[in-house]
Chains A and B, each alone.
Chain A
Amino acid sequence: MSGLPVADRAAVRRATRELIVRDRNAVAAVLTLHTAATVAGLAPPWLLGAVIDRVGAGAGVDAVDRLALAIVGAVLAQALLSRYAQYAGHRFGERAVARLREDFVDRTLNLPVSVVERAGAGDLATRSSVDVSTVGLTVRDVVPTMVIASVQLALLFGAIFLLHPVLGLAALAGLPTIALVTRWYLRRASPAYLAEGAAAAELTETLTSTAEGARTVEAFRLADERIRHGTARIARVWAARRATLTLRTGFFSVVEASYPLPIAAVLLAGGVLLARGQVTLGAVVAAALYLQQAIDPLDRILQWTEQAQRGLASFARVLGVGQVPPERAGRAAVPTDERLVVRGARFSYGDGPDVLHGIDLEVRPGERLAVVGPSGAGKSTLARLLAGIDAPRHGVVSIGGCPVTDLDPAERRRRIALVTQEHHVFIGSLRDNLAFAAPDATDDRMRAALATVGADWYATLPDGLDTLLGDGARQLAAAEAQQLALARLVLADPHTLILDEATAALDPTTARRTERALAALLTGRTVIAIAHRLNTAHDADRVAVLSDGRITEIGSHDELVRAGGAYAALWRSWHH
């Protein structure tokens, strides 16, 4: 199983730059507004310093009143400027996130199925949920916070430098220790927090599955086992939380102990400068207050760095999806007819051993072929080759003279459809769930399609085609979902159908009902049915018995029974 790629640093940097450049006016506006707002925010301590100087110089109440009014003005200006700065930043963030998630879904939809399957659907699912949200959170909340805090810090320290360069230098006293401990912390934080999250998710999973499997817990008397299992999970959460706590203990104690250092340094340096008459008392007080003010943005930056780091990691994984080459567009070859031919096809998954050893097969248009054989004989693999999802390692699978994998994917799907026992009901209305198979289908055609596959439950739906399906809405039973899948096929109207155990996951009675519905769908089409119920084989034009990746018997049902081979034996045991 080879995972999906992850973008390297250069690609992440490139993508980040692109996000900024695409919206550079907005970014410039955000930075300007934030700078202006922060400057306004610097005024009150400076004005307080001025108050102190004036009062020290014996100024009257009038001067104090004027300065105090100026403070009020500065506060209002800061509030207004930061409002617009924040709004502009928010809009930029929203746009960037929207672009990212839409790109991601576009790329996901263009992934070749074989790549997704090999990587494991879980990987892609995690990227679509966890990573896209993490990047979203980072772009929308973390980056703005970091940008604002950085601007504030830069201006605060700049202001202290302006008051007096020596005071400025003194103000940097706490930074080295903070930088060192941050480095130490960041190296360890992400894996520790991820482990904590994973442990918590496992505990929730344990609780949920205990609830879901409640009847099984009782039947197999698993209560003690579940409690033991869950208690171990709780212990693991505790351990993971302890680990992150230890990290925080080291980090925050050093950081917080570093905060008074610059204040102390500024006061001492201020004392010396004051004695030489190089600064005013007000300037020293203002510098000390600026430093007190700097604690807040510094705290915010430190708190969010870990999240920002994680955001970058997620970003790399999101971008990685775009690095998979999209499904081959094909050479726009046009098949001359609908004849499916397999010649010498061999196939292996990855570097594994061959699961198909030279298959030769010809299916005439309109023929019904049943493929039977024990589990693991390669039936499903053959179905995938016929549907063009995988290409044979050796040999060729062609339709009307063109290799199926050379067809344009959309064209191929129009001609050949693969139906498996896996079915998926998309979130959305019933109409949404049908329309994608044939975008120009009318409501009447959809209703007719449902009727064709025997989906009589349609009549009980409160809102007809507008009824919402899927998670949190009306849940379809397995049989209903399978019928929905078949109705899509009626609409898609392919000439060749490959049914891979399409009804195997259903209980026998429902399977029978669904099979009856299928019969309506199959008239006039080429059908290749991979089956484990032998009646399917009995009714087919020809039966192919697949065993260990080879076709061992092929012919009509009667011929095979007469031949007295493996199929005949099985038929007798089944049929009595």
Chain B
Amino acid sequence: MRYLWWLTRCQPGRVLRGSLLGTAWMVGLSARPYLISRAVDDGLRTGDTRALALWVAAIVAAGVGLAYLGTMRHRTMTFIREDAKARSAAVVLRQLSRLGAALPRRTATGEVATVGGTDVDRTGQVLTVTGPGVGAVVAYLVVAVLLWSISPLLALCVLVGVPAVGLVVVPLLRRLERAESVYRQQQGELTARSGDIVAGLRVLAGVGGRALFARRYAARSRDLLAEGYRVGAVNSWIDAATVALPGLFLAAVVWLAARMAATGEITVGELVGVYGYTATLVVPVWFLLEGGHQVIRGRVAARRIIALLDARPDGVGGPPDPPRDRATDASAVPDARRPEAAGRPTATPDLTADLYDPASGLTVPTGRLTAVAAADPADATALADRLGRYVVSDVTWGGVPLTRIGLDEVRARILVADHDAYLFGGTLRELLRGGRPGSDDARIVAALHAASAGDVLDSLPDGLDTRLDSRARSLSGGQRQRIRLARALLADPEVLILVDPASAVDAHTEARIAERLRAGRAGRTTLVLTTSPLLLGHADTVAHLRAGRVVSAGAHVDLLDTDPAYRSLVARDDAEQVLR
């Protein structure tokens, strides 16, 4: 609720204008029946042409005025809602960008789509109550006064009756929504299935089975049809009730008013007026009931947004990060990360320091190309996580525990390039440069060359300006891998840790990558986790990791001779007999 209040408070002028316009518009709605009833009473019934012309002119003028009010109300309310949505989207975006690796992968993505889409929308929708919601209350009171002046008895009937009918009808409509939701869910599943068939079309083309899938889909479609019939039977009754109940109520009011007109208690014009007011009152009452529902839904949505905003990066040790301003800070305009607070107890290892991992016994010497061949790929990723400080560990850098160095500094100086690192959508240039302004096209092309990805660039229609969707789905697995490598090389960190950088490319390319990696990272600290003999052959030293520990180390050629386990791990020739 505080969040909703914050969204409202951010735009006081607009909200005030919305309330005023909403009120004027709602009240204006009751003007037409009033004017028509006056035209009937003063003009038509008495045959007074001048009075008739006057009232008719008033009807037209009121209509135009109402159209203006209605349009302005809609505009203002749209701006209020959109402002709220944009603000929510901005804080969610900022939070997501900051959470980083702490954002648990699986659970978050589906949740994030809901929060970023539905919840942001629903929260924005709530603000509708600030305009028409306020207006509805006022309009209701105005109609009450008008009716009261005709007949207190009629006024009581209408003022109590309309909300009562509303209270009966609205829950019926909710039921309708619920019945529909089952149908919609099934429909969604069916759509997913046809999408699934489209996605798997190539598999079906390769192995066959199209007829089976057509039959299976048709059976599901029939199920949905049956469900649709069922929903239709229920819904048509509910719909009929929502027509009949207000209609019957209106009939009762007319009956009562007509009897009063017959006995002369009210005029014929007033009878027409009562009919009109009763019909008009539906709008504000409807808004109030709908508004109530929106607030309930919006609170749930706002709570989910807040839950996401409250998530904190999990601690990977180290000195406290610079204080992060609360996400619901009134200035939703994102600003750059605050510079690190001065005088914090951070230690800064100099450029000649070695990285040392006590858990495996591995030392990564400065300025050299080191390779690790791990028997179990899980050991390799765990090692990368420790060296990059994605988990708390005893790793030291130049003798200083990694956890005593500011996390920002670790990220700036040590880069772990995962083999499945995410590729964001955008132009290839943006993708590679990743927001670092310093990289000009010449450096980008050089990095692509170093990653042996020149042919990827050549194959794209607009070169570096070619737009790729997220995950670069239009590229092949091997192309994506080389793009990732190019991005890591372009970032040019002090320490680069590459996880399986060439597993999806052909042997020719792999050989080229190995050569160029060595040249491109000359004099820089580089660690490659791989079992490819081509890459291992170019490393200064190779460590053989088994059960999480370094069991042997040395040059690739030496290890091939001295360590039979190493040989069987990396020299694939005698390990597998694939085609025989």
B164 lies within 8 A of chain A by Cβ: no
Bound-state Cα–Cα, A121 to B53, Å: 65
The answer to whether B44 touches A274, judged by C-beta atoms less than 8 angstroms apart, is yes
Bound-state Cα–Cα, A224 to B72, Å: 37
Q: A86-B239, A209-B470, A424-B203 are in contact. Are A374 and B477 (CB under 8 A)?
A: no
Which B residues from 160 to 214 make CB contacts under 8 A with A? Answer: 187, 190-214
Q: How far is the CB of B15 from chain A (nearest CB, A)?
A: 18
Q: How far is the CB of B528 from chain A (nearest CB, A)?
A: 13
Contacts of B218 in A (CB 8 A): 102, 105
Bound-state Cα–Cα, A537 to B254, Å: 92
Q: A55-B261, A417-B207, A538-B573 are in contact. Are A203 and B74 (CB under 8 A)?
A: no
B412 lies within 8 A of chain A by Cβ: yes
The answer to whether B207 touches A437, judged by C-beta atoms less than 8 angstroms apart, is yes
A-B contact pairs, 29 of them (CB 8 A): A67-B258, A68-B258, A79-B240, A113-B201, A205-B470, A210-B96, A213-B424, A215-B390, A218-B101, A219-B101, A225-B434, A253-B71, A257-B67, A257-B68, A263-B59, A264-B56, A270-B44, A271-B43, A373-B506, A413-B207, A424-B203, A427-B196, A428-B216, A436-B207, A439-B209, A508-B531, A519-B579, A532-B506, A536-B578
The answer to whether A132 touches B578, judged by C-beta atoms less than 8 angstroms apart, is no
Cross-chain pair count, CB within 8 angstroms = 510
The answer to whether B412 touches A288, judged by C-beta atoms less than 8 angstroms apart, is no
Which B residues from 323 to 342 make CB contacts under 8 A with A? Answer: 333-334, 336-337
Contacts of A102 in B (CB 8 A): 217-218, 221
The answer to whether B116 touches A204, judged by C-beta atoms less than 8 angstroms apart, is yes
The answer to whether A470 touches B196, judged by C-beta atoms less than 8 angstroms apart, is yes
State which of A10-18, A70-78, A155-163, A448-456 sits at the interface with chain B. Answer: A70-78
State which of B3-11, B131-139, B241-249, B516-524 sits at the interface with chain A. Answer: B241-249
The answer to whether B232 touches A94, judged by C-beta atoms less than 8 angstroms apart, is yes
Contacts of A300 in B (CB 8 A): none
Q: How far is the CB of B160 from chain A (nearest CB, A)?
A: 20
Bound-state Cα–Cα, A101 to B191, Å: 9
State which of A184-192, A229-237, A340-348, A398-406 sits at the interface with chain B. Answer: A229-237
Which A residues from 407 to 453 make CB contacts under 8 A with B? Answer: 410, 413-414, 417-424, 426-428, 432, 435-437, 439
A310 lies within 8 A of chain B by Cβ: no
Q: Which residue of B lies closest to A117 (CB)?
A: B202
Contacts of A106 in B (CB 8 A): 214
Q: A256-B70, A413-B206 are in contact. Are A424 and B579 (CB under 8 A)?
A: no
Q: A128-B191, A219-B418, A417-B206 are in contact. Are A261 and B100 (CB under 8 A)?
A: no
Q: How far is the CB of A452 from chain B (nearest CB, A)?
A: 15
| Most central of B32, B40, B89, B263 by chain A CB within 10 Å | B89
Contacts of A421 in B (CB 8 A): 477
The answer to whether A224 touches B52, judged by C-beta atoms less than 8 angstroms apart, is no
State which of A21-29, A57-65, A328-336, A357-365 sits at the interface with chain B. Answer: A57-65
State which of B269-277, B354-362, B541-549 sits at the interface with chain A. Answer: B269-277
Contacts of B239 in A (CB 8 A): 82-83, 86
Contacts of B250 in A (CB 8 A): 44, 75
Bound-state Cα–Cα, A72 to B418, Å: 74
Contacts of A519 in B (CB 8 A): 576-580
Q: How far is the CB of B365 from chain A (nearest CB, A)?
A: 22
The answer to whether A220 touches B434, judged by C-beta atoms less than 8 angstroms apart, is yes
A301 lies within 8 A of chain B by Cβ: no
Q: A267-B44, A538-B573 are in contact. Are A86 and B207 (CB under 8 A)?
A: no
Per-residue 0/1 for A550-574: is the Cβ within 8 Å of any B Cβ (1 yes, 0 no)?
A: 0000000000000000000010011
With an 8 Å Cβ cutoff, the count of chain A residues facing the other chain is: 177
Q: Which residue of B lies closest to A266 (CB)?
A: B56
Q: Which of B32, B197, B236, B578 contacts A90 (CB 8 A)?
A: B236
Q: Which residue of B lies closest to A419 (CB)?
A: B206
B224 lies within 8 A of chain A by Cβ: yes
The answer to whether B96 touches A260, judged by C-beta atoms less than 8 angstroms apart, is no
Q: A261-B63, A271-B49 are in contact. Are A72 and B251 (CB under 8 A)?
A: yes
Q: How far is the CB of A44 from chain B (nearest CB, A)?
A: 7
The answer to whether B560 touches A576, judged by C-beta atoms less than 8 angstroms apart, is yes
Which A residues from 282 to 319 make CB contacts under 8 A with B? Answer: 284-285, 288-289, 292
Bound-state Cα–Cα, A183 to B86, Å: 32
Contacts of A432 in B (CB 8 A): 216
B159 lies within 8 A of chain A by Cβ: no
Q: How far is the CB of A521 from chain B (nearest CB, A)?
A: 11
Contacts of B209 in A (CB 8 A): 435-437, 439
The answer to whether B67 touches A256, judged by C-beta atoms less than 8 angstroms apart, is yes
Q: How far is the CB of A153 from chain B (nearest CB, A)?
A: 17
Contacts of A218 in B (CB 8 A): 100-101, 411
Q: A132-B191, A504-B477 are in contact. Are A219 and B417 (CB under 8 A)?
A: yes
The answer to whether A241 touches B78, judged by C-beta atoms less than 8 angstroms apart, is yes
Bound-state Cα–Cα, A285 to B269, Å: 10
Q: Which of A222, A228, A260, A535 contacts B62 (CB 8 A)?
A: A260
Contacts of A541 in B (CB 8 A): 579
Q: Which residue of A lies closest to B480 (CB)?
A: A505
Contacts of B530 in A (CB 8 A): 508
Q: Which of A44, A132, A285, A417 contacts B247 (CB 8 A)?
A: A44
The answer to whether A539 touches B199, judged by C-beta atoms less than 8 angstroms apart, is no
Contacts of B55 in A (CB 8 A): 267
Q: How far is the CB of A25 from chain B (nearest CB, A)?
A: 17
The answer to whether B243 touches A82, judged by C-beta atoms less than 8 angstroms apart, is yes
Contacts of A84 in B (CB 8 A): 236
Q: Which of B116, B213, B418, B423 contacts A436 (CB 8 A)?
A: B213
Contacts of A179 in B (CB 8 A): none
A198 lies within 8 A of chain B by Cβ: no
The answer to whether B52 touches A271, judged by C-beta atoms less than 8 angstroms apart, is yes
A150 lies within 8 A of chain B by Cβ: no
A31 lies within 8 A of chain B by Cβ: no
Q: Which of B193, B262, B487, B560 contacts A59 (CB 8 A)?
A: B262
Which A residues from 78 to 118 make CB contacts under 8 A with B? Answer: 78-80, 82-84, 86-87, 90-91, 94-95, 97-98, 101-102, 104-106, 108-111, 113, 116-117
What class of interface size applies to chain B in its complex with A? 35 or more
Q: How far is the CB of A484 from chain B (nearest CB, A)?
A: 10
Q: How far is the CB of B454 from chain A (nearest CB, A)?
A: 11
Q: How far is the CB of B510 from chain A (nearest CB, A)?
A: 8
Which B residues from 446 to 496 make CB contacts under 8 A with A? Answer: 455, 459, 470-471, 477-478, 487, 491
Q: Which of B418, B419, B575 contacts A215 (CB 8 A)?
A: B418
Q: How far is the CB of A465 from chain B (nearest CB, A)?
A: 16
The answer to whether B434 touches A222, judged by C-beta atoms less than 8 angstroms apart, is yes
Per-residue 0/1 for A197-224: is the Cβ within 8 Å of any B Cβ (1 yes, 0 no)?
A: 0001001111111111111111111111
The answer to whether B334 touches A227, judged by C-beta atoms less than 8 angstroms apart, is yes
Contacts of A87 in B (CB 8 A): 232-233, 236
A533 lies within 8 A of chain B by Cβ: yes
The answer to whether A504 touches B200, judged by C-beta atoms less than 8 angstroms apart, is no
Contacts of A267 in B (CB 8 A): 36, 39, 43-44, 52, 55-56, 59
Q: A219-B417, A570-B507 are in contact. Are A539 and B470 (CB under 8 A)?
A: no
The answer to whether B60 touches A260, judged by C-beta atoms less than 8 angstroms apart, is yes
Which B residues from 532 to 570 make CB contacts under 8 A with A? Answer: 532-534, 537, 556-557, 560
The answer to whether A508 touches B109, judged by C-beta atoms less than 8 angstroms apart, is no
A195 lies within 8 A of chain B by Cβ: no
Q: A211-B103, A224-B336 are in contact. Are A375 and B478 (CB under 8 A)?
A: yes
State which of B293-301, B344-352, B497-505 sits at the interface with chain A. Answer: B497-505
Contacts of A264 in B (CB 8 A): 56-57, 59-60, 63
The answer to whether A128 touches B194, judged by C-beta atoms less than 8 angstroms apart, is yes
Q: A281-B40, A536-B578, A573-B511 are in contact. Are A94 and B470 (CB under 8 A)?
A: no
Q: Which of B97, B203, B214 contacts A105 (CB 8 A)?
A: B214
The answer to whether B101 touches A109, judged by C-beta atoms less than 8 angstroms apart, is no
The answer to whether A71 touches B532, judged by C-beta atoms less than 8 angstroms apart, is no
Bound-state Cα–Cα, A102 to B197, Å: 12
Q: Which residue of B lies closest to A530 (CB)?
A: B506
A78-B244, A215-B421, A375-B508 are known contacts; what are 20 more A-B pairs with Cβ within 8 Å?
Answer: A64-B261, A90-B235, A101-B194, A133-B191, A207-B115, A209-B424, A218-B100, A226-B424, A234-B90, A249-B75, A252-B67, A253-B70, A281-B268, A374-B509, A410-B208, A505-B504, A507-B503, A519-B578, A519-B580, A536-B578
